[in-house]
Amino acid sequence: MRFMSIVTSAQSGPPTPELMEAMNKLADREIKSGRMIDMGGLMPLATGARVTIANGQLSVLDGPFVESKELIGGFAVLDLTDMDEAIALCREYAEILGGTLEIDVRRIEQPA
């Protein structure tokens, strides 16, 4: 089963070199095991765009947007046996990050 984890954090600014080293160590282990398919950190809001479609009309708002107290900071696509395994891996990642954060874990629907 494939899962996507989406990390929302109250942390602002880039991670410290020590935090990056710890995150990379976990990611390297999971990539080598074949459990992590893809991952990435997201660039700041200022580099993005917000696309809205309402009543068939497309509107694009370029960043920067109003700063939020919580930002989606990154994601991972994981190939795991079940939700329990996904939650365990998220817990390990959360322990590395520390602070206040949420990790949404969702199963990815795959074609039959």
Q: Assign 101 a pLDDT band (cuts: 50, 70, 90).
A: confident
Question: Is the predicted pLDDT of residue 21 greater than 90, yes or no?
Answer: yes
Number of folded domains that form the chain: 1
87 within a domain of the structure (yes/no): yes
Q: Is 8 within the bounds of a domain?
A: yes
Q: Which residues contact 70 (CB under 8 A, 6 or more apart)?
A: 8, 9, 10, 102
Residue 11 domain-assigned (yes or no) = yes
Domain assignment present for 21: yes
Residue 52: inside a domain, yes or no?
yes
Question: Does residue 112 belong to any structural domain of this protein?
Answer: no
The reported pLDDT for the residue numbered 92 is: 93
Element (H, E) at 6: strand 2-9
Query: What CATH number does residue 11 fall under?
Result: 3.30.70.1060
| Per-residue model confidence as pLDDT tens digits over 27-55 | 999 999 999 999 998 887 778 888 889 99
84 within domain boundaries? yes
Calculate the average pLDDT of the chain: 87
Reported pTM = 0.79
Domain that holds residue 18: 2-107
Question: 15: which DSSP letter?
Answer: P
Q: Do 92 and 7 touch, CB atoms closer than 8 A?
A: no
Instruction: Look at residue 95 and tell me if it is in a domain.
Output: yes
